[in-house]
Copies of this chain bind each other. A is one copy, B any other.
Amino acid sequence: MASTDPQESPEDLPKVLLLKKPPSFQFFEGESFTSTKFQYLKAYESPLPLHQFLAAHAQSVQAVLASGGASINADILQLLPAVRVVVTTSAGLNQIDIPECRRRGIAIANAGDVYSADVADLAVGLLIDVLRKISASDRYVRQGLWATKGDYPLGAKLSGKRAGIVGLGRIGYEVAKRLEAFGCYISYNSRKKKPNVSYPFYQNVSELAANCDALIICCGLTKQTFHMINKEVLSALGKKGVIVNIGRGAIIDEKEMVRCLVAGEIAGAGLDVFENEPDVPKEFFTMENVVLSPHTAVFTPESLKDLSELVVGNLEAFFSNKPLLSEYMDE
């Protein structure tokens, strides 16, 4: 079928479909994520409506590169019968209909361990910040208030505190490793108890919350984890407890968390993710006990370079009939 898409390359390289421009592309366009072994087919640059665009390429697209913002659901997959692999630029896979991929025999490769260190670094940074009031006192100093109004209120100690990790995957493990060096006592909640892990395990996330000073959300977003951090869990965390979220916004019932923060039912929050990004509840903007990060946990130039190599490596492996570098297996 002849294509009228002006973006299509005259070369006969295999095509990798992009529905939306991945956030990571903007930092490297033209320099990274490129290969001599495939070409990108950018739906977002075509003037055609999406279903027409997909229909035009239905037989030729065997690979999709998906990012966090572009849903790969059953409707999309139905229009792309030749697809055999979905590679993502994200560590989380909540935008992908995994059962439908499995049914169609489509392999999935995610960003693997590329982001883990960066995400864990930011999680610890947010935790120190919310406990020790770094961003809040930085605002205070910048407004010239230190000289005129005196000392800023004390923060709370991190060293020796009890940290509860929700989701002890790669990221959760990296967070735990770092916090151990601060003398923190680690415990965790996960779908099941991990073999070969000595940290205390709590089957129930409320029980974990009741037995820690800081709850750090490191799990992925699934039907099971949607609003898992609800009123009961926040109550269990209590008025001296703080929460850090570097997972996905919708793991926390955000309205309930806002209410708890306003009412002083929890002490503070360090948040890299929100339910309706980039929209952030306006109540947060004037709170001194929250730290707001614009979903930057995964992004540093160093990790994006690693991501570029992994994405290209996965796609080249697919087109060469070699094993994927970071294939996602169901647990």
Contacts and interface: CB of A to CB of B under 8 A. Distances in A.
A280 B157 contact: no
A159 B117 contact: yes
Contacts of A124: 124, 128, 182
Given A128-B122, A279-B147, A157 B303 contact: yes
Interface stretch (A80-88, A99-107, A223-231, A293-301): A293-301
Contact of A125 (B117, B128, B285): B128
- Copy total for this chain: 2
Contact of A122 (B132, B177, B294): B132
A292 B138 CA distance: 5
Q: Mostly helix, strand, loop or mixed at chain A's interface?
A: helix
A292 B141 contact: yes
A178 interface: yes
Nearest to A176: B181
B177 A132 contact: no
B121 A157 contact: yes
B134 A134 contact: yes
A138 B140 contact: no
A303 B161 CA distance: 13
Contacts of A138: 135, 291-293
A294 B140 contact: yes
A122 B182 CA distance: 11
A278 interface: yes
A216 to B, nearest CB: 14
Interface string A118-146: 10111011101100111101111111101
Given A23-B151, A139-B139, A144 B285 contact: yes
A120 to B, nearest CB: 8
A101 B156 CA distance: 35
B155 A300 contact: yes
Given A134-B129, A302-B156, A141 B280 contact: yes
B137 A296 contact: yes
Contacts of A134: 122, 125-126, 129, 134-135, 291, 293
Interface residues on A, range: 35 or more
Given A180-B181, A181-B177, A154 B296 contact: yes
Interface in A38-57: none
Interface in A286-331: 286, 291-294, 296, 299-304
A26 interface: yes
Contact of A121 (B132, B280, B293, B301): B132
Contacts of A133: 296
A158 interface: yes
Closest 3 CB pairs of A and B: A125-B128, A181-B181, A117-B159
13 contacts: A23-B151, A121-B182, A124-B182, A125-B129, A126-B134, A129-B134, A133-B296, A141-B292, A142-B292, A144-B285, A154-B296, A154-B301, A178-B181
Given A134-B134, A147-B280, 11 more contacts: A124-B124, A125-B125, A132-B296, A135-B135, A146-B277, A146-B278, A146-B294, A151-B294, A154-B300, A155-B296, A155-B299
